[in-house]
Amino acid sequence: MSKPTSASTGLFRYSLGVTLATLGLVCMGGLVTSKGVGMAVPDWPTSFGYNMFALPISTWKTGGIFDEHTHRIWASTVGLLVVFLTRWVGGAESRRTLASIGFIELTVGVGLLAFAGSNWRNEAHFLMGISAVVLLAAATPWGRSPSSSTAVRMAWMAFWTVQIQGSLGGLRVVLDQWTVAGTTGGILFGVAHGCLGQLFFALLVCLTFRLAPTWNSIRRPDAESYPKLLSRMACVLVLGQLLLGLLMRHQHAGLAIPDLPLAHGQIWPATDAASLERYSARRDGFEPITAFQIHIHMLHRLNAILTLAGVVAVFFKTRALPPETGARRMASVWFGLVCTQFTLGILTVLYDKPADIATAHVAVGSLSLSAGILTAWLCGRTNPVKAAEHVGKTSIPQMTTPAAVG
Amino acid sequence: MKNTLKFAASMAVVAATGASAAEITGKVKLNGEAPPAREITPIKADKMCGALHTKPVMTRTYVVGADKGLANVAVYIKAGLPAGKTYTAPATKPLIDQVGCVYEPLVSVAMVGQTIDIKNSDAFMHNVNCQAKVNKGFNFAQATAGQVNPKTFDKPELAVKLICNVHPWMSGYVHVFDHPFFAVTDKDGNFSISGDLPDGKYTVEANHLKSGVVTGEVEVKGGKATLSLELAVK
């Protein structure tokens, strides 16, 4: 096995940095929702009419504005970092594509400014700002070859995802009051924004693992004993759990049921009008508990048990694998994370959903999804022919073939 | 003779319109023991808001005054008004103030088309996020002390919620009606609905954000009526 080059180690470290910054961003987003301050800054892409980078510090420091505005600035920074990550992973070949995208974004921005009137001025400036970053990345004269085709594909996915994610965050603010089928734009785009954020983070985790100098030393599956299907199913359960969690958070259903392990003293709480009135009477505030909140909350609890069972099954199934397999180690990490997540979920209910515990619940949820996807990926890498193709394309250390490792 | 003619003329006008200045007064009481108010701890935790209070700020789920009178109850005519009659919005402007990071009053009432002044009395930013379901919502920022934004609602809607996301514990409610016969109970649960209300029978509803609604029948005779209503702790 060849030694990792300093460039590939540097790229790995940069990718790790971007991933950690994204984890911070996920936490910040979780905190914004936990505190209910998502609409503290009512406009976007401006903040109170200012260019978001020029908001006076005194305003930024006020109450929930601090959380929401910091989330925006942090997100913009992650966006910038991801553009350069794409450039670095994509090598010199990415310059032309980035230049084209940057040019198109600049043209649309200038077009908006020229023809769409003053109402679109802020959006035009925002788009032109993004185009400037993309064009700057294209102009950066790094001449290195692209990373493996898998890593390049992932980096481009991250590039597009971060732009869609930013737009969803903006639409969540701008279309907050818009209603479709009885649901507000705030909920629709908020859930989509939360979900894509978790997937985006998992994508970056996978990319960073793919760029890790140790990746090539990870033993590939060489037997059917790898729980491919089981790990994928458990991943789907985790993803479903995250979706249910997001729905709960945005529907304020986190405290619709305040007791554990029973729910309002029952196994599955009744949701007739009299029962709902009784549940609502038990809590402070004027908002009544709805049947939808009860059902979503119960589904989240039920799926938590299924998810835990699924991950425990993967954990035990991978125990039989050789220690040097990444799948075994990653399944252990996944198991640890899901157990932590389960505990945080219980604490969230028992301690009346404090913002710090609820946010930790979101962060560990993201890590669990990432660990799950990685485990499933490591269990599913069964094609040694493809592996050989990767060896030919990549500039990072040569991949050790399964036979050589085995 | 001249005075007699004047009186006859005014009586004729009243008879023709079928309306006169009338008043329904009464009290809304709470039946049961209200849970104790709780301190809104985030206010204390917030540097800017906490500095504006010397005493703990308490929740206002049930504000009970003398003789079990319940405050912050919207009381309004639910039925009995002449069919098809339309009303002009009063010229008075109810004030919803954000002071000390709390909405004052907690409950406001207004008529469709009536201007409501929304004010920020604090020396820092609040945003007013109106979460109307029937009416069109809005969300705007009030950056400076003394800023007032006039707002109106186009349709009747009960308990339109206003929140401040900058200080997420802050919320206020507005009940919007298509007639001007409404009131909010004072700290002792007393209310007074007055206006151009003809004698007759009416259904009056009391609406508390936590306790729900209760209705009562009342007959206005000679422009006067009294009514007592009771809401239960929920």
Per residue in A158-193, pLDDT (tens digit) is 999 999 999 999 999 999 999 888 889 999 999 999
Boundary (domain end) residue, out of A195, A220, A245: A220
Establish how many alpha carbons lie within 13 A of residue B109's alpha carbon, considering only the half-sphere containing its beta carbon: 23
Q: Which residues of B touch A252 (CB under 8 A)?
A: none
- What does the DSSP 8-state code read for residue A119? G
Residues A276-318 pLDDT 10s? 999 998 888 888 999 999 999 999 999 999 999 999 999 999 9
How many domains does chain B divide into?
1
CATH number (domain holding residue B146): 2.60.40.420
Mean pLDDT value of segment A91-103:
95
Of the candidates B125, B136, B139, the beta carbon closest to that of A62 is on B125
Strands B182-184 and B74-79: antiparallel
Report percent pLDDT > 90 for chain A: 72
Largest CA distance in chain A: 70
Query: Contacts for A351-356 with beta carbons within 8 Å, 24 or more apart?
Result: A352/A255, A352/A258, A353/A34, A353/A254, A353/A255, A355/A31, A355/A34, A355/A35
Is residue A305 domain-resident?
yes
Nearest chain A CA: its distance from B33 CA (Å)? 13
Of the candidates B124, B140, B159, the beta carbon closest to that of A62 is on B124
Q: Cβ contacts of residue A137 below 8 Å, gap of 6+? A: A83, A84, A86, A87, A98, A102
Of the candidates A40, A177, A281, the beta carbon closest to that of B127 is on A40
What ipTM describes this predicted complex? 0.83
Q: Give me the domain span that covers residue B97.
A: 20-232
Q: Cβ contacts of residue A403 below 8 Å, gap of 6+? A: A384
Q: Which residues of A touch B120 (CB under 8 A)?
A: none
Is residue B167 domain-resident?
yes
Nearest chain A CA: its distance from B34 CA (Å)? 11
Cβ(A291)–Cβ(A276) under 8 Å? yes
Q: Give me the domain span that covers residue A269.
A: 223-381
Tell the burial category of B1 from Cβ atoms under 10 Å away from its Cβ (0-12, 13-18, 19+): exposed
Report how many Cβ contacts below 8 Å link chain A to chain B: 67
**Per the CB < 8 Å rule, is A177 touching B137?**
yes
Residues A182-238 pLDDT 10s? 889 999 999 999 999 999 999 999 999 999 988 888 877 766 667 889 999 999 999
Cβ(A156)–Cβ(A220) under 8 Å? no
How many domains does chain A divide into?
2
B107 touching A (Cβ < 8 Å): no
Instruction: Among B166, B171, B207, pick the best mutation site for testing chain A contact (most A Cβ within 10 A).
Output: B166
**Per the CB < 8 Å rule, is A284 touching B129?**
no
Residues A279-288 pLDDT 10s? 998 888 888 9
Taking each continuous run of H as one helix and of E as one strand, the counts in chain B are 3, 16
**Per the CB < 8 Å rule, is B166 touching A65?**
yes
Q: Are residues A211 and A242 in the same domain?
A: no
Is residue A403 domain-resident?
no
* CA A55 and chain centroid, separation: 27
Nearest chain A CA: its distance from B166 CA (Å)? 4
Which residues, in sequence order, are bridge partners of residue A183?
A180
Residues A241-267 pLDDT 10s? 999 999 999 988 888 999 999 999 999
Is residue B4 domain-resident?
no
Residues B28-80 pLDDT 10s? 999 999 999 999 999 999 999 999 999 999 999 999 999 999 999 999 999 99
Nearest chain B CA: its distance from A37 CA (Å)? 5
Strands B102-104 and B95-99: antiparallel
Is residue B102 domain-resident?
yes
**Is the Cα dihedral A149, A155, A158, A160 positive or negative?**
negative
